[in-house]
Amino acid sequence: MNKYDWSILICNNGSTDNTQEVSEELAGKDDRVRVVNIAVKGRGFALKKVWMENEADIFSYMDVDLSTNLENFRI
């Protein structure tokens, strides 16, 4: 049993690569992964929208390019 209840929300806002397709494939494999597609460009808008609509107690943000080292996320 997991120590924590968790989920991953992938927010795609105007990417021009295959982010949407890969995200949907991941979401199809695990119901804790969800994809939101936002037509409006802008990281700030996307973050505000998905965070305001989510009921999680704790949020974390990272870019897909892993510019934040995964070891910085405490568990």
All residues at 6 or more sequence positions from 39 whose CB lies less than 8 Å from its CB, including other chains: 13, 14
Q: Is the dihedral of CA 18, 20, 21, 25 positive or negative?
A: positive
Q: Is residue 69 scored above 60 in pLDDT?
A: yes
For the chain, counts of helices (H) and of strands (E): 2, 2
Is residue 20 within a helix (H) or strand (E), and if so which, with residue range?
helix 19-29
DSSP 72: G
Distance CA 12, CA 26 (A): 13
pTM of the full structure: 0.74
Q: Is residue 64 scored above 80 in pLDDT?
A: no
Summarize pLDDT for 24-62 with one digit per residue, the tens: 999 999 999 999 988 888 888 888 888 888 888 888 887
Q: Where are the domains of the chain?
A: 1-57
